[in-house]
Chain A
Amino acid sequence: SAVISQKPSRDICQRGTSLTIQCQVDSQVTMMFWYRQQPGQSLTLIATANQGSEATYESGFVIDKFPISRPNLTFSTLTVSNMSPEDSSIYLCSVEVGTQLNEKLFFGSGTQLSVL
């Protein structure tokens, strides 16, 4: 498994501001993933972050709104920019651990974001 530390665990932010969420893993991993979970909904993948390259964003998510950094193999950040109340969600980082084609996905503790 993997130990994933994510912070902040929760925050309340004002409209128009930005919040950066940090994710630290206790081992080196190739890919890190960022998910969003809107209230009462399932998880939706925002982007995949590889070390040393631009993140790959899913349909409906853009770099200007959700810039991602991946400076090394154990750390990543997701910024939620120019926030609006619609951005109120749980944001989760995750990593894959295991052998090829048998990887398991583990999650950080999540960041509960409320935008006023």
Chain B
Amino acid sequence: AQKITQTQPGMFVQEKEAVTLDCTYDTSDPSYGLFWYKQPSSGEMIFLIYQGSYDQQNATEGRYSLNFQKARKSANLVISASQLGDSAMYFCAMREVSGGYQKVTFGTGTKLQVIP
């Protein structure tokens, strides 16, 4: 079974609108962490936001917020007021204990295109 599932290969959003990128995860580890990264065409991986499994409140970082629904095992990224510079690949990732040590697994990514 996939550890991290991103069901949207590609998304379009109008500039200044909000967009939600979906991510579901699967783990039996009670202590885990969830990440979102942005990868522009240059190839670098830019850390956006982090949610720990024990965090009571949804994480927010500027225009980014993480809609964490623990019972549903989902960790959707919400980008508010989209900008042209938001066009990039977005990866969801999960850190868990696997084989006795911590490991981070990445989803397949969602390509977001912001339309002027």
Chain A interface residues toward B at CB < 8 A = 1, 33, 37, 41-45, 48, 56, 90, 92, 94, 96, 101-110, 112
Contact = CB atoms under 8 A, between A and B. Distances in A.
| Nearest 6 A/B pairs, CB to CB | A107-B45, A110-B43, A43-B106, A109-B44, A42-B106, A90-B43
Interface residues of B, number: 23
A1 B48 CA distance: 11
Contacts of B16: none
A7 to B, nearest CB: 13
Interface of B: 31, 33, 35, 37, 42-47, 50, 52, 91, 93, 95, 101-104, 106-109
Contacts of A45: 103-104
Nearest to A91: B43
B106 A103 contact: no
A45 B102 CA distance: 12
A42 B93 CA distance: 10
A106 B38 CA distance: 12
A104 B47 CA distance: 9
Contacts of A44: 106
A108 B31 CA distance: 26
B33 A107 contact: no
A105 B44 contact: no
Contacts of A105: 35, 47, 93, 95, 104
Contacts of A108: 44
A46 B91 CA distance: 18
B47 A101 contact: no
